[in-house]
């Protein structure tokens, strides 16, 4: 809207300059403003876009953790500080990596759901949130090479499309070591890996706590 007013003011102040501009040139310029500035913002009002429709609220995240996650006071504090600090940093040096360990019913999956919902309105159903379950998506050890290639391509492709992608890996205790090695290059302090920056991505690993 401010850009539109500025453009209108320029037209009013310089009528002679406007007359000198060919109609087709002016039309192309206005089309460029609409497609490059106004249209993306209007589009994101009606559908989910990469990044955030709204800034992540530390208070809202804390409220969700306090009201929905019980008996995990230390974990809630660590998660709150890690997620809110990472999202508020415009230039993180590496992706956010969270490793959640616990027995069944301790809230590992619930925490990942809360995080996803506070970053994307679609939560776990968002196009920018990707959930992998070891026994479901990588069931056969004999296909480990294929799984590694597919997983790396999936991560690379989705982060290329949206830097603020979230990847959740469930049943890490059942995941083949080769697949874990395939993920490692994306988690370190690299500006780019094969031309793609992963520094704004989020990786959440869920592991059942062995006795």
All structural domains of the chain with their residue ranges: 2-46, 58-208
CA distance 33 to 39: 8
Sign of CA dihedral 158, 159, 165, 170: positive
pLDDT of residue 119: 94
**pLDDT per position as a tens digit, 100-157:** 988 877 789 999 999 999 999 899 999 999 999 999 999 999 999 999 999 999 999 9
Secondary structure class of 80 (helix, strand, coil): helix
- Topology of the domain covering 58-208: Rossmann fold (3.40.50)
DSSP assigned state of 55: P
pLDDT above 70: residue 60: yes
Higher-pLDDT residue of 18, 106: 106
Tens-place pLDDT, residues 185-202: 999 999 999 999 999 999
- State the pLDDT confidence band at 82, using cuts at 50, 70 and 90: very high
Residue 211 has pLDDT above 90, yes or no: no
| Whether pLDDT at 1 is above 90 | no
What is the DSSP track for 144-169? HHHHHHHHHHHHHHHHHH-TT-EEEE
Q: Tokens 């003011």, residue? A: 9
CA distances for 175 relative to 84, 105, 122, 170, angstroms: 29, 20, 27, 9
pLDDT for the residue numbered 54? 55
Indicate whether 203 pLDDT > 70.
yes
């Amino acid at each position: 809207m401010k850009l539109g007013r500025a453009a209108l003011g320029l037209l009013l102040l310089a009528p002679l300059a406007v007359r000198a501009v060919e109609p087709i040139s002016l039309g192309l310029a206005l089309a460029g403003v609409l497609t490059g500035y106004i249209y993306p913002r209007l589009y994101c009002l009606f559908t989910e876009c990469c990044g955030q429709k709204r800034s992540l609220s530390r208070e809202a995240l804390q409220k969700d953790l306090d009201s929905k996650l019980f008996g995990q006071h230390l974990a809630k504090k660590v998660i709150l500080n890690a997620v809110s600090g990472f999202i508020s940093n415009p230039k993180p040096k590496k992706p956010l990596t969270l490793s959640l360990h616990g027995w069944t019913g301790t809230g590992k999956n619930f925490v990942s759901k809360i995080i996803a919902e506070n970053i994307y309105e679609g939560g776990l159903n968002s196009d920018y949130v990707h959930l992998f379950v070891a026994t479901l998506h990588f069931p056969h050890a004999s296909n480990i090479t294929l799984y590694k290639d597919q997983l790396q391509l999936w991560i690379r492709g989705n982060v290329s499309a949206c830097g603020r992608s979230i990847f959740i890996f469930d049943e890490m205790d059942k995941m083949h070591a080769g697949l874990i090695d395939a993920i490692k290059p994306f988690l370190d302090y690299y500006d780019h890996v094969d031309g793609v920056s992963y520094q704004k991505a989020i990786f959440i690993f869920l592991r059942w706590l062995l006795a």
